[in-house]
Amino acid sequence: MADNKERVTVGDLLQHPALQLRLLAGTAGLHRSVSWAHVSELDDPTPWLLGDEVIMTTGLAVPRSAAGQRAYLERLDDAGVAALAVSAQLHMPPLRQAFFAAAERRGMPVLEVPLAVPFIAVAREVAAALQEDAAHRLGAQLQVFGALRWLTSENLDTATLFTRLEKLSGYDIFLCTMQGRPLLPGVPAPDPAVVPGSADAPPAIPGGFAIPVPSPGGAAGFLVAFEREDARPAGLAVVQHIATVAALLLAAVRTEREALRREGAEFLAELLQDALDPAVAQRHLKRHSIRGEIALAVVRGVTEDAVLRALEDQPYLLLNRGEDRYLLGSPLLGDRVAVLPGVAAGMSRPFGPGASLRVAQREARWSASHAAASGRALVRYGEDTTGRWLPDDPAALTALVEHVLGEALRYDAGHGSRLLPSVRTWMERDRRTDEAAAALHIHPNTLSYRLRRFGEVTGRDMSTTGAFAEVWLAIRAAAELGLLD
């Protein structure tokens, strides 16, 4: 039936005299490849399909309404079915014009099988025609098994390896994370529109396959393979083997990244202690692919794993200190972190590689405390213009805090009270008492009492502009000195 052909098509089946098939609709799809022929009387067989099948039905599953018939055909076409073969009689309901119009519009061949030809005859002819193609696919599978040997013996990079696999398999290959971002360096990500919403989705997609890339704890992403023009696609099994190769490479990349991350944490600890010469620091930053303007961030309220996922494809240094995550890298990293639920992050002003982190630490810590107190996900130092009125001299800041807040600090320490944090939260929330009380998890009346008591302890009437401004600047100075963390 298909002598000297590299694949079996729907058109080949139509030309086989013994099958006596008749084309009812979908002429534009006669070039479609056929991988198997199978009987199905299910209303929706697509979860069990791999693509390129000829689905044969006596009509039991075909709806009677025009809308139902159209939806039935579209489901099959979306799953990559090569053609629908219907019985000439038996249980077939009358096929509606909407059904035929959808088949023509999509180029989905609809074939009629005469009553004299059993479905098993169609299945046998397809299986016989595919024997030669099966040998080609087996050879491709065996060569894919050698992919990792190429990687080690020839020192191939990832991009070159996957270029070889594309030529061998007959598919254009794409890799992405579950969110649609690039998964491995050197391999492009697919159009997000073709990425399945779940790792449990059927593998067949129009024009190819979408296969989960396995990893510990669940799928790491998807391998999307589209049939290449003028190529001989090797089938689902080969694509699955390539996904396994991608998983092994991803595990190696993650191991290397983890080692580099641990090294980066030690390096950041030295930077925070000002223990490195600027030239040495610049070399280390370059090794970690951190170049140009950088910033230091302090991230609170989220786990380390959440930060790692948010920054998966970005260069950075990360160090855990208690509940704080110190993050060094591009100032744009703040935007990635800010989308994490429950985060309170502060970022310093940008500075050049190799510069001391002494000032940046103070700025980042203050900004993180400001973010937590104000309920904001991210505060960048310098966004609050009142900071420009504070001196840089720590001794001057200390004197300001003692003069304005000294009595309140000692009162809180001696009584276990929270006058100063309550005043700060109230000011951070723009003096909205109900909102500040909710953030402090206390009743508004309790907050009002604390505000009055703070005024009595410090001798400052918070209803006056002068006292309010003085207290606000003193609170800013205390945060700069780390007294309110």
Torsion-angle region of residue 342: left (phi > 0), alpha (psi -120 to 50) or beta? Answer: left
Residue 362 Cα to chain centre, angstroms: 33
Residue 465 has pLDDT above 80, yes or no: yes
Separation of alpha carbons 96 and 67, rounded Å: 9
The answer to whether the Cα torsion of 148, 160, 176, 228 is positive or negative is negative
Closest by CA to 203, choosing from 237, 233, 245, is: 237
> CB–CB of 183/176 below 8 Å?
yes
Residue tagged 């009492």 (tokens) = 449
Residue 147 has pLDDT above 70, yes or no: no
pLDDT tens digit string along 53-65? 999 999 988 999 9
pLDDT tens digit string along 240-299? 888 988 888 888 888 877 787 888 888 888 888 887 888 888 888 888 888 889 999 999
Q: For 18-24, what is the mean pLDDT?
A: 88
Confidence of residue 144 (pLDDT cuts 50, 70, 90): low
Helices in 289-332 by DSSP H: which ranges?
A: 304-310
Strand partners, 441: none
Closest by CA to 231, choosing from 130, 144, 137, is: 137
Task: Give Cβ neighbours of residue 119 (< 8 Å, ≥ 6 apart).
Answer: 37, 39, 56, 85, 113
Q: For 295-311, what is the mean pLDDT?
A: 91
Closest by CA to 454, choosing from 485, 412, 413, is: 412
Confidence of residue 485 (pLDDT cuts 50, 70, 90): low
What distances in angstroms separate CA 450 from CA 342, 404, 420, 473, one per listed residue? Answer: 27, 17, 9, 19
How high is the pLDDT of residue 302? 92
Report the residue count for the chain: 485
Residue 139 has pLDDT above 60, yes or no: no
Q: For 72-97, what is the mean pLDDT?
A: 90
What is the model's pTM? Answer: 0.46
> CB–CB of 238/164 below 8 Å?
no
> CB–CB of 301/330 below 8 Å?
no
Task: Give Cβ neighbours of residue 178 (< 8 Å, ≥ 6 apart).
Answer: 199, 219, 220, 221, 222
Confidence of residue 442 (pLDDT cuts 50, 70, 90): very high
How high is the pLDDT of residue 153? 63
> CB–CB of 381/366 below 8 Å?
yes
Closest by CA to 74, choosing from 3, 26, 34, 114, is: 26
Name the DSSP class of 17: T
Confidence of residue 300 (pLDDT cuts 50, 70, 90): very high
With H, G, I as helix, E, B as strand and everything else as coil, classify residue 21. Answer: coil
> CB–CB of 34/17 below 8 Å?
no
Rg (CA), the chain: 33
Q: For the stretch 279-307, what's the b/e string if a residue is b when 16 or more beta carbons lie within 10 angstroms of its beta carbon?
A: eebbebbeebebeeebbbbbbbbbeeebb
Residue 5 has pLDDT above 70, yes or no: no
pLDDT tens digit string along 148-204? 566 556 677 888 888 888 888 889 999 999 888 888 888 999 999 888 888 888 888
Residue tagged 């790491």 (tokens) = 220
Structure tokens at 314: 């970005």
Residue tagged 């790792």 (tokens) = 199
Residue 124 has pLDDT above 90, yes or no: no
Confidence of residue 342 (pLDDT cuts 50, 70, 90): very high
More confident residue, 386 or 327: 327
Residue 4 has pLDDT above 50, yes or no: no
Element (H, E) at 333: helix 333-337
User: By percentage, how much of the chain surpasses pLDDT 70?
Assistant: 91
Least confident of 124-138, 140-154, 447-461: 140-154
Residue 323 has pLDDT above 60, yes or no: yes
pLDDT tens digit string along 196-244? 888 888 888 888 899 999 888 788 899 999 988 877 777 777 888 889 8
Residue 368 has pLDDT above 70, yes or no: yes
With H, G, I as helix, E, B as strand and everything else as coil, classify residue 20. Answer: coil
Separation of alpha carbons 1 and 298, rounded Å: 69
> CB–CB of 311/333 below 8 Å?
yes
Q: What is the mean pLDDT of the chain?
A: 85
Q: With DSSP H G I counted as helix, E B as strand and the rest as coil, what are the percentages for the chain, rounded to 5? A: 50, 15, 35
Separation of alpha carbons 259 and 261, rounded Å: 5
Confidence of residue 326 (pLDDT cuts 50, 70, 90): very high
